[in-house]
Amino acid sequence: MTTINKPNVTIKGVKDGLVFLLNDQCEFQELLSELKHKLEHTHQQILSGPIIHVQIKLGTRLISPQERQEIQDILKSRGNLIVQSIESEVEEEASKSGKNVKVLKGMVRSGQTINHHGNLLFIGDVNPGGSLVCTGDIWIMGSLRGMAHAGSEGNEEAVIAASHLRPTQLRIADCISRPPDEWGIDEAFMEFAYLEKGSMQINKITHLYKIRPGAMEFKGV
């Protein structure tokens, strides 16, 4: 049986320009490599000529501000491509939820702690020694290399998700995990942590809808 691999970059024409659909399950560097290749080699004909407006669709991928800039720089190198938007389904859902989610941007440095009552979408990195503590879910568009505690008032349905999950400690409700030793893996990209029968589990963000169907709705906690 022949296996057909899903392309990392799919380009579609729309009324106002082009839409770039980016695979949300591959490694980020693989994504950038294919994007460069298509711009420079396989799609030169449709990407040349007058100004073209481009929308970038990330699916469920969470990216850091630096990774967002890398995508923009590659597209801007063409000269005639104008990036109108870079959209993540996770960020869109957070925006729709209004008061039920807090959106913060920046960096959490060693010794700093951010506390929030509710759900938190953090755009940036959490460095070793830094902490995020929330009563609801924690979503990080960047690297989590410090500590994250979701469901801090006992909500065992809370989740912790990050573009790059390499924390010193994860906590959900009263359950503590000290990865990566307990996970058996060295690196985790586009993953989320959740509780199942009182035990911390790690899975791909693309499986979130099956495991926590209501998580993306950002309901009050």
First to last CA, the chain: 47
Tell me the percentage of the chain whose pLDDT exceeds 70. 81
Q: What is the pTM of this model?
A: 0.65
pLDDT value at residue 28: 86
What is the overall mean pLDDT for the chain?
82
Instruction: Answer yes or no: is pLDDT of 188 > 80.
Output: no
**Domain spanning 92-217: CATH 3.30.2010.10:** no
The confidence score (pLDDT) of residue 218 equals: 46
- The tens digit of pLDDT for each residue in 134-180 reads 999 999 988 999 999 999 999 999 999 998 888 999 999 999 986 55
- CA torsion sign for 23, 149, 125, 201 is negative
The dihedrals phi and psi of 70, each to the nearest 5 degrees, come to -60, -45
Mean pLDDT over 20-37 rounds to 89
Q: 194 is written with which tokens?
A: 């959740």
pLDDT confidence of residue 156: 93
Q: Where are the domains of the chain?
A: 9-87, 92-217
Residue 68's pLDDT band (cuts 50, 70, 90):
confident
